[in-house]
Each structure stands twice: as structure tokens, then as C-alpha cells.
Amino acid sequence: MAAETKARQPQIRVLVDAAFCLSLIRSRTRGPLPLFQEHAPGEIGISAVTVATLQARAAQTHAPEQNRRALEQFLLPLAVV
């Protein structure tokens, strides 16, 4: 059963870092980005350390609650490892 479940999970093919995420968030690009169009949800990963870094950065801004919500939305299609 465990092997069956594991076979269904997508493999992480791309691991993004904090600098990449911040540049995407700051660019305020509308619509899906090519990276997200080329990969299925779960194929793009982000480390838990990077998530913590982004959360800390959001908390230090002039609008921490708004930025926290934006970060949560940004993280939805990413697999945290």
C-alpha cells in the first residue's frame, strides 16, 4: 500500500530558493508564470528553511498580515520539503 501511495505522488523536479521567490512575489506578475505552467503541482519544491525565511521577511514589512496571506497563496502549489 505504501509503495502504491508513493507512486502517485509527483516528484520534485525544481527546488526554489528565497531570492527566486522574493523576485516573483515582488514582480507582481499577473497570470501563471512559465515555471508553474511547465510543472504540475508538487513538482516544484521549497525547503522548510526557505519558507521560514520568507515568513520572517513578511513579518518585518509595513503590512505583515497582508504579506503573510500573499505568501500563503504563493506557497499553495509548492511542495515543502
Q: What pLDDT, on a 0 to 100 scale, did the predictor assign at position 30? A: 65
Percent of the chain with pLDDT over 70: 83
- Domain of 74, CATH number, reads 3.40.50.1010
Q: What's the gap between Cα 19 and its chain centre? A: 12
Number of domains in the chain: 1
pTM above 0.75, yes or no: yes
pLDDT interval class at 5 (50, 70, 90): low
Rounded to an integer, what distance in angstroms lies between the CA atom of residue 41 and that of residue 55? 21
pLDDT tens per residue across span 7-54: 566 799 999 999 999 888 888 666 667 888 888 888 999 999 999 999
Classify strands 44-46 and 79-80 as parallel, antiparallel or unpaired: parallel
Residue of 16, 13, 38 lying closest to 25 (CA atoms): 16
Contact 43, 78 (CB under 8 A): no
pLDDT at 47: 97
Q: Which domain holds residue 60?
A: 2-80
